[in-house]
Amino acid sequence: MFELPELPYGESELEPFMSRETLREHHGKHHRKYVDTLNELVAGSPLATETLETIIRHTAGSADAEERKMFNNAAQHWNHSFFWQSTGPGGSGEPGPELSALIERDLGGLAGFHDEFLGQASEHFGSGWAWLVFDGTSLAVMTTHDADTPLAQGKTALLGCDLWEHAYYLDFQSRRAEYLAAWLEHLVQWQFAEQNLSENGHGAHPELTFAPDEPVAW
Ligand code: MN3
């Protein structure tokens, strides 16, 4: 059984940038629903004992309607778990030297990263996610639609931010750019990005990190 990971901080600790009400809805209801639905869908299926990452890779791009549902819920579980770790109190500031050097080389420094991230994420049409990724050679900013995830595209995610309206509507109404600016300036956990780069950034694919019956690592 997959489980909803606990938030690595208290529900009020991201205020005023992300409210307790938002986290209660977003983590406690939206994310929980993806986990519950995923468990229902995999029960009794050949994928029941597989890891989350294997389920995502196996069902990505499937034409089968049941597998599409499984992909959507598995990827949303993965994306949200990743988002909670990308986000935290006392965030932003500057990444360490290795990641800073890559950001300088590939994105024109932290200001360039902010511009690119804010631009792509603001303009992304509809629901989805914004990411900082490493493709084995260089860093890039990208967005994915709906539940889609860099994991399914063979890219290493370093940071991820939820662009679904449920992520910001209670705090910012429809002002997505304000939500993104607050996230970039106050909540980004560069240590998490560095950890992802050092653990997964040197190969083409991130390694499998947890099995269904193990406690979720994040
Ligand atoms: Mn969400």
**Centre of ligand 1 from the C-alpha of residue 202, in Å:** 29
Predicted local distance difference test score (pLDDT) of residue 11: 96
Predicted local distance difference test score (pLDDT) of residue 207: 38
**Centre of ligand 1 from the C-alpha of residue 174, in Å:** 15
**Centre of ligand 1 from the C-alpha of residue 213, in Å:** 24
Would you give the distance in Å from CA 109 to the centre of its chain?
Answer: 22
Predicted local distance difference test score (pLDDT) of residue 215: 39
Q: Where are the beta strands (DSSP E) in the chain?
A: 128-134, 139-145, 156-162
**Centre of ligand 1 from the C-alpha of residue 146, in Å:** 10
**Centre of ligand 1 from the C-alpha of residue 7, in Å:** 14
Phi, psi for residue 7 in degrees, rounded to 5:
-65, 140
Cα distance between residue 209 and residue 11, in whole Å: 26
**Centre of ligand 1 from the C-alpha of residue 129, in Å:** 9
Which neighbouring-strand residues pair with 134?
Answer: 139, 156
**Centre of ligand 1 from the C-alpha of residue 175, in Å:** 16
CA atoms 196, 87, 169, 141: torsion sign: negative
**Centre of ligand 1 from the C-alpha of residue 31, in Å:** 7
pTM: 0.91
Q: Which residues surround ligand 1, an ion (CB under 5 A)?
A: 162, 164
Predicted local distance difference test score (pLDDT) of residue 216: 43
Question: Would you give the DSSP letter of residue 27?
Answer: I
Predicted local distance difference test score (pLDDT) of residue 92: 86
Successive 10-residue mean pLDDT values, the chain, 218 residues: 96 97 97 98 93 96 95 98 97 92 97 98 97 95 97 95 97 96 97 92 42 40
**Centre of ligand 1 from the C-alpha of residue 183, in Å:** 14
Furthest-apart CA atoms within the chain: distance in Å:
49
72-91 pLDDT, tens per residue?
999 999 999 999 999 999 98
**Centre of ligand 1 from the C-alpha of residue 79, in Å:** 8
Tokens of 206: 């991130």
**Centre of ligand 1 from the C-alpha of residue 34, in Å:** 10
Among candidates 127, 140, 129, which has minimal Cα distance to 201? 140
Helix (H, G, I), strand (E, B) or coil at 82: helix
Tokens of 180: 């993104």
Predicted local distance difference test score (pLDDT) of residue 201: 65
Residues 19/22/25/27 CA torsion (nearest 10 deg): -80
**Centre of ligand 1 from the C-alpha of residue 97, in Å:** 31
Predicted local distance difference test score (pLDDT) of residue 182: 97
Would you give the distance in Å from CA 142 to the centre of its chain?
Answer: 12
Host H or E run for residue 204: none
**Centre of ligand 1 from the C-alpha of residue 208, in Å:** 23
